[in-house]
Structures are given as C-alpha cells and as structure tokens.
Structure 1
Amino acid sequence: MITRRALFAGGAGLGLSAALGATPVRAAARRAPLSDPFQLGVASGEPAHDGVVLWTRLAMDPIALDGFGGMPDRPVPVQWQLAKDENFRHVVRRGTEVARRDAAHSVHVELDGLDPGAEYFYRFRAEGELSPAGRTLTAPAPGTRGRPLNLSFTSCADYQSGWFTPYRRMAEDQPDLIAFLGDYIYEYGDYRHPVRDQAGGECLDLAGYRVRHAQHKADPDSRLAHAVAPWVVVWDDHDIENAWAGDVPGRPGTPFLRRRAAAFQAYWENMPLRRAQRPDGAAARLHRSIRWGEVANLHLLDTRQYRDPYACTGRNGTVGAGCLERFEPGRTILGRDQEAWLDDRLRRSRATWDLLGQQVFFMQMDWAGGPGEGYSNEGWDGYVASRDRLTAAVGAYERNAVVLTGDVHSHWAGEVRRDHRDPGSEPVAVELVTSSVTSAGDGLDEYPDTRALLAENPHVKFFNGRRGYVRARLTQREMRAEFRSLSRVSAPGAPAYTSGSFVIEPGRPALNPA
C-alpha cells in the first residue's frame, strides 16, 4: 500500500521495478506473473466536495497487441474498498463493479456522499489478487476559504522520448490534485532512435490506442503518480492524431471520425473520468469545472474538438502578418457552445482564482524573432476573436484568471493583455505553460534564440527548455507557482530543481518573481 513513509522510500505496493525506477515496461510486463491483473495500477479523479472517481483496468499482459491486456473473454467482478486510513482498518465504503471486455475490463467507480475536504485510501480485488492502494482526496465544501489547493500540472508524455521521472517527482510532492493538459500518449509509430521501445505501431484503431495507454499506465513512475492523488485530464492532438482540428484530420485522406471514435473510447477506458465524459462515437464532452471550495475553480477546456480549421494555410504552422483570416470575428477555438458555457462559469464564479486548464499557447507570441512576424495558427493566435471574447469576459467579471497550458514542450510564463494588438492594453490574466514529461528529449535551460524571443515579446517573462512540470499553491492571498525542471529524461532518476518561481496576487494580473 502507499503510505507517506513508503512513498519516499521508493513506492511501496508498486513492486521492485517501481523502487528501482529503471525497468523497461516491456520487460516488467513480461516478467510479472500472469495471475496479476493489476499491472496498470490504480487511479482516482474528478474530485468533488462529496465524491470522487476510482479507476483501474485489469490487464494480465498489458501490451498484448489485440488491446485486451491478456484478459479472458468474460466479465470479471471487481471488488473495491474505500478507507479513511492507509491500513484499511476503517473502511467506510465497499462494493463490486463488473469489468467488461467491451470496455477493455476497465472499472470506473463513481462515488458520492463522501466527506468534504477529506483524504481517503482505496484498493481493488479481482481474480483472487489485491491491487496496490491509492490515495485520493475530496474537494473542500462550497464556501470553504481556508483550505489551500496544492496543484501540479504537466503535459506531453511520449513513451519513446524518455523516462517518466517527472511523474515520480510530482508524486513525491504529494499534491492535492494533478492536472494533465494533453498528449497523454503519442499516436506515432516507432522512432528510428528511441530512448525506450514502445509496443505496437502507429495507433489507428481501438486495439492500438488501448495498447499505447496500457504501456503508459504500466510504467512504474506513471503508476506512482496516478496512485498518489486525484487526476483531471484533457486531451490534445496526439491523444488522437497529430494536428487534428474539429472534424478535419491532421493527415488528409484518413478515415478520421472512425479513428477519433476509437481514440475517444480508449481515452475514457484508461482515465478516471465520470460517466458524463463517456464518448458517443466520435463525440465526447470533456469540458467541465472542478471546484475547490471558494479558493479556486479549475475550468478544463477542449481546444480540439470544436475548433475552426487552421487559418490561411489549412495546416498547422507559422503564419505571417498577412494572414488576416485569423482575425475574422466568427472564428472560434472552443466552439460557440463551449464559449457560452465558459462565459457562464466565469460570470457565476465566486472563487478567488479561476484557472483555465487547456492545451495550446494562449497569449500572443511572435515566433519570428526579428523584423518580420510569425504566429502559430494552432494556438489562440490563430483564433484572435475567440481569445478577445474570453479576455473581455475575464475583465468584465473581474476574475483572477490564470491560464494553464501544455503542448509546447517547454516552460513559459507571461501576462495576457486584454488586446495584444494595443501596446497600451493592460494585462487581464497570466499564463503558466508547463513543459513536457518527455517530449522533445532532455532539452536545454536556454536555447540560442531564447533571449531574442523574450525581447520580441516583452509580456513573456520566463522560459526554460527542460522537461518537467509546474507545482502551484493557491490560497485566498496569493498563487505561488514553481517551474520544476529535470536535467535529463534520457536516463532515469534525475532530480527536479526549480528553474523559475513566481507569485500572483488577487486583483493584480502580473508575475512577481518569488
């Protein structure tokens, strides 16, 4: 089981491979006894003040290429327990769910009626085997102002690009909540020179996506991070297909909606999501809010499923100042329904902080680094009117908004202007961009063009090009954010260090060095 003491000793309950942190998942999966159905670990997610989701997926052979994890072709009863203590002497809830083959033998236990602001421990039993234990929390009750939120967030975990050590470092912090902001898997086939070998080729069907998710979940560092705190997740492009936009595939000519339906199904099967997020074919509602008392609302956004096509070129990339399509007033990256939903959430919010958890660069960013201009049409710079509507709402409702972003495989921090085209426009929000777990390899603290880019974009205050995550502590008085970086993911075990630290105060959308 996971105890506070054992966590720092190397991940009790996760086996010797977790303690060593250096065993390839392919080898670990093959050596594990075939009687063990819990090789993908356990997870929890979607905390509310009165409930949480408990998750596991049974797999005796996680990387079996048919996607069924080596499980028999029959329903499997799975018992679960929820306890107040890590030794399970005070079990408060128990029950049985049925893991079915058509859902890849995944289990989603959606609990309510729990105590607010409480710590719980949970575990499962199936086929005569007991799972490792997990730790979870419920959110504070509505109206609660004194309970801080300790939040960690990251994105972009490419199995072939490196070791998942950032997950272990996040787990060691024992946060209240972990937010994953897209690209939990990569759909790509094999690299020419991978750091680690992945199972299967390019993900094109349900079996392929299931195998890729299973290999990620079976990783010991991933298992530890999932077991230590509740998660909330949103997808980006690589969870389905690189650079997809709405109903348009990133690679023309593919049967995209069929592929998207398969990816959505596998995503739900492998994440601690509620029934409300279960897909209906190629459609799924992933945008939702997590409320942490009166300290924070975390609004999770989907910038992929409802967006208009890419401006000017029809493909994702950098466009120049002559691309006027990105300014068209009808363009949207969220879709009209999601925009209206978010506007209503901001208007009704009474929390000190409103966090916008999403995937792609929000603030304006001129990537040209010289006399010309170059803007990404994949981020919000390709949907300027959509950004303007959101910044106007933040200003009108006087919200303390912080945009949490993934995607770009490096740490960034900056101030979001009400209108970036107006040099005198005041900031209305700040943006914190997390680096990746592994994508883009080890990276560097600073690249040759870093200083030129920062000079070209004076509202951007910070950059670090290593892998890692962001940890933040939110109270009524301030939000403190630390960018955590690792010197390498090409080999396991690197320590994390703080490459940048900022304080944000309510009513002052500015980044103050800590």
Structure 2
Amino acid sequence: MSQSPLTLPRRHFLALGGVAAGAAVLAAEPASATSAVGKDRTTLPGHVFTLGVASGDPTSDGVVLWTRLAPDPLAPDGLGGMPDRTVNVRWEVAEDDRFRRVVRRGVERASARWAHSVHAEVHGLRPDHVYFYRFLVADQVSPVGRTRTAPRAGADLRSLSFAFASCQAYTDGHFTAYEHMAREDLDLVVHLGDYIYEGGGAGSIGRAHLPATETFSLTDYRIRYAQYKLDPALQAAHAAAPWVVAPDDHDVENNWAGDHSQPDTEPDQDPAVFRLRRAAAYQAYYENLPLRASSMPHGPEMQVYRRLKFGDLLQLDVLDTRRFRDQQLTDPSLRWAPDRQMLGAKQEAWLLAGLGASTARWNVLANQIFAMEADHTAGPDESFGMDTWDGYAAARQRLFDGVAQRRVDNFLIVTGDAHRSVAADLKLNFADPNSRTIGTEFLGTSISSGGNGTDMDTLGTTWLAENPHMRFHNSQRGYQVCHLGRHEMRTDYRVVPFVNAPGAPVTTRASVHVQSGRPGVAHVSA
C-alpha cells in the first residue's frame, strides 16, 4: 500500500514536502545556517525555491547540483517572477542532512538569460558516497536534496541499483509513480525523455496544460517546464537521487527527426524555422534539468550523448536518437536502406569504440526509442513503426553487428517512449528465432502518458504472438528498477493500477533476470 510521507526517513519527508513545505524547511534548518544566510542583503520578490532541487551526472569526485529561482513559476513572461538581474546563489554539500558536516560550498550566479537556473558543478567529493545539498539566497534556504557520487573508475563494485523512467504527460495522469520511486534505495535515476509534452489541451482529470496551446517559443517551454516541476512527486524523486537525463521527441515536438518537424501535421515547415523552435526547447530543457555546462545548448545544437562509468560494474552510454537521425520514412519498404542513420556517423563510431574498449561488467545503453523488432500485425503480414529503430533497420544492424564483432559483454538497452513494458532478447537476425542473441532490451512504460493502462492489451497480445524474442509484456503505468550484481542483473517492473487520481499503490508486476555472460532473458518471475 502507499506509504504516508510522515513515516518516511527525514530526507524523504523533506523532499516530498515540495513546494508547500518550502517555508517549513527553512524554519527547520539549524541556527548556523540562519546566521550564514543573514549576511546576504539580496531582496527577493517572494519564496524562490518553488521548483525544488536536483542533482545529476555523477562522477567519482562530484556531481552537478540544480535549482531554479522562481517566486512566481507560472508568470506569463516565463521568467518565474524574478527581476531582470543576476542573483548570487550559494550552495552547500554536507555529509549529513542537518549540515553540521559541510564539506564543500560555493557561489553560482543565476541570470535572467538562463531563467535564473543554477548548475553548480561540484568537485572534490569522495567516491561512492552519499551527500546532502541545499541552496541559499538572502534569508531563504532550499529544500534538502540527497545525492551520491559514482565509484572510482575500475573499483571493485558488488552492486548498484538504478531506476529508469520516461513519458510523463501532465494532462494524462498524476505522477504517483515518482512518489514511490523517491522511497526506493537508488544510486541513480535515468530519464529517457518526454519530460514534458509540447501539445496543448486540458485532458480529462483536471490537469490542463499551461499555456493552453502547443509550445513554440522559449516563453512557452519555460512555463510548461515550470508547471511540470511544481509537481511534488516529481520534486521528491529529483531530491532523492542523482539523475541522468536525455530528451526525446515531445521535449521538442512529436516525432521530430534531425532538422525536420513531424511529417504528419507540419510537412512544409521550413527547417530553419524548426531549428529556432528546437533552440527554444533545448534551452528550456537545460534550464530545468541537472546538466553540466558541456550540455549547455548553443542555439539548436546540444551535446546529449555522453558516457558515465560506475566502478567496474557499469558503463552507461547515453544516446541521442533524435538530433542526427534521417527523416522518418513514408515508404516502409525503404527501412533497410543501407545509408539511413539513427545516431549519425560520429555518434555511432563513438558508441562502438566505447563499447569495444569497455571493461565494465554491464554495458547499458540509455536509449529513447525501442531497438528490438516489433511486428504490429497478427498473421503472415508484417508492419513496423517508422519512428523506432525498426524504421532505421540498417543502422540497427550496424550497431548489433558491431556489438557482436567486438564481443561486448552483458549488453543491455533500457528504453522509454512506447508507454508499455517489454523485456526482449536482442537477436542478430530477428527474422530467425534461432539467430544469435547479443543482449537484452528492457522497454519501460510511462509515468503517466496514456492514462491508466491495463495489464494486457490488444497490441501486447499481438506483439507476444508475432515476436518470439519478446519475453514479457505489460501496459500499466510505472517505472523500472535495475539491480546490477557481479553474476546477475534483475529488472523489477514497478506498476501503479491507476493515474487518473492520486494515491495509487505500487507493486512489482514482474522481475526479469539476466545472467552475466549469458545474453538474453534468463527467466521472468511474476
């Protein structure tokens, strides 16, 4: 059953308090914090920490800390109610959540140019260590966040647990899954895109989008992000563990590809116009998430793909499956065209070189759209989606051939986007069920997109019948937790029965096991 926030450990109680608890968090801080902030004479128009705190992209000696000052988060100019001037924001990192043992502190300058967001890149921390952090402006103190540094590269690591999630349409459902995720004992959270949805609409559960129309301008995207980030469950999940994030299509526009807008509704949009929109979307994405300066966008360009390492146990390669792909096909017969790109030549080469050189026990791709083949039609006919890797079949084959040729150990892909869960063997030749298995894909469902969902639906029945490499399917809402060990990894599919109202409990629908050195699903326990 759903656990009351009052029964949680103190760090989770502070996180779950979200916006409403801002003043209470300030009052609860020790006297030493009050005396420290009292030296700052900055005048503020109201409580500025309404959007919470976050951390991300951990290394063995540090992490990036995020917040954004916004006393009026939904202000129509998109600037969150802040004046058009730069504000000094102090940050502290401590070994305890009362900040009696502060180990690092510094100051960042929050400017109107970047919507008064703060991205503090902290160094000099101990590897594989839990820390607490907060921000201070004038006499105000932010909620407390919890983070963890990565183990030192090559360190003998026994276990690691991370959650992955995607697709959180505000209008479709409540973010109850994040409330439960915040209570998990996680080293990391991986978000695979569709953090916001760009469309307008009111939905049917009283969570209408702001602005009411589709987002196009920087102001539009800023307001949309502020609306999402006001959700206390989302704030709690951010405050509980470091995140690694990458955008997908709805963070800009549905089904965009490279410099092309979606072909179904805007086939004649000038690519130059679309690049302006992408620049606005990228900037708002960066402003609202815990990304390093290396991912700061420059107009319509943004460095999304990157590599993180966690001891000798995990190499996590974060992909960009939108910016460098070719335009979606309108003729499915061309999906095997040999020159079609999903990752682009540079990213593809970077990925394969890194996989070939990896010494990690588990090699995981953080991937936005599913890589397994998925025949959507029952019977002898076949049909495939053109937005997934199925529409870029030759690019997928190059990747899988490269993995096989380099003898990559324990190759795993975690994926979002599809609003359903699947565990599947990755075959070197999907047309031959007896073909070599080179790895395993874990497709994860949505946080809220698609509404309540069901345990099984018509598409799921078809998928399992037509695609023998698929070993598990579910179409409820929720998130996934991957537990990595030396000899086995397990993915728990955590689901909630409804999202059209708050308060849903969480259960583990199934656990999918993979044994080290034996690619593919070993067994599914329900």
TM range (shorter): over 0.9
Name the stretch that deviates more: 418-427 or 268-277.
418-427
Partner of 2:95: 84
Structure 1 alignment gaps of length 5 or more: 19-32, 314-318
Query: Partners of 1:422 and 1:491 in 2: how far apart?
Result: 44
Corresponding letter in the other structure for 1:371:
P
CA displacement at 1:450 relative to structure 2: 2.8
CA displacement at 1:2 relative to structure 2: 12
The reply on whether 1:252 has 2:261 as its aligned counterpart is: no
Query: Partners of 2:215 and 2:73 in 1: how far apart?
Result: 16
DSSP-derived class of the 2:198 partner: coil
CA displacement at 1:147 relative to structure 2: 3.9
Query: Partners of 1:16 and 1:264 in 2: how far apart?
Result: 29
Cα distance, 1:17–1:128 mapped onto 2, change above 3 Å:
closer
Contact conserved, 2:15 with 2:235, CA < 8 A, in 1? Answer: no
Deviations 1:76-121 (A, max 9, x none): 1101100011110000111111110000000000112211101110
Deviations 1:18-48 (A, max 9, x none): 9xxxxxxxxxxxxxx9621000000000001
Corresponding letter in the other structure for 1:458:
P
Partner of 2:26: none
Partner of 2:517: 507
The reply on whether 1:469 has 2:488 as its aligned counterpart is: no
Partner of 2:432: 422
Partner of 2:293: 275
Query: Partners of 1:7 and 1:493 in 2: how far apart?
Result: 21
Partner of 1:239: 251
Contact conserved, 2:15 with 2:145, CA < 8 A, in 1? Answer: no
CA displacement at 1:7 relative to structure 2: 5.0
Cα distance, 1:376–1:209 mapped onto 2, change above 3 Å:
same
Partner of 2:176: 165
TM-score (norm 1): 0.92
DSSP-derived class of the 1:450 partner: helix
Partner of 1:227: 239
Query: Partners of 2:496 and 2:12 in 1: how far apart?
Result: 18
Name the stretch that deviates more: 443-452 or 89-98.
443-452
The reply on whether 1:383 has 2:392 as its aligned counterpart is: yes
Kindly report which structure 2 residues correspond to 1:120-269, keeping only aligned pairs within 5 A, or say none: 120-191=131-202, 193-200=204-211, 201-250=213-262, 251-254=266-269, 255-269=273-287
Query: Partners of 2:113 and 2:339 in 1: how far apart?
Result: 40
Q: How many aligned positions are there?
A: 491
Name the stretch that deviates more: 177-186 or 147-156.
147-156
2:55 paired residue among 44, 66, 71: 44
Corresponding letter in the other structure for 2:46:
S
Partner of 2:456: 446
Corresponding letter in the other structure for 2:65:
L
The reply on whether 1:326 has 2:326 as its aligned counterpart is: no
Cα distance, 1:368–1:17 mapped onto 2, change above 3 Å:
farther
Kindly report which structure 2 residues correspond to 1:286-365, keeping only aligned pairs within 5 A, or say none: 286-313=304-331, 319=332, 323=333, 325-365=334-374
CA displacement at 1:218 relative to structure 2: 1.2
TM-score (norm 2): 0.90
Deviations 1:366-391 (A, max 9, x none): 01122210011111111111111111
Query: Partners of 1:187 and 1:451 in 2: how far apart?
Result: 30
DSSP-derived class of the 1:48 partner: coil
Contact conserved, 1:362 with 1:380, CA < 8 A, in 2? Answer: yes
The reply on whether 1:393 has 2:402 as its aligned counterpart is: yes
Query: Partners of 1:271 and 1:104 in 2: how far apart?
Result: 12
Query: Partners of 2:305 and 2:7 in 1: how far apart?
Result: 33
Query: Partners of 1:442 and 1:2 in 2: how far apart?
Result: 27
Query: Partners of 1:9 and 1:57 in 2: how far apart?
Result: 21
Partner of 1:14: 18
Query: Partners of 1:449 and 1:312 in 2: how far apart?
Result: 22
Cα distance, 1:192–1:347 mapped onto 2, change above 3 Å:
closer
Contact conserved, 1:13 with 1:133, CA < 8 A, in 2? Answer: no
1:370 paired residue among 379, 382, 385: 379
Deviations 1:113-141 (A, max 9, x none): 21110111000011421100000000001
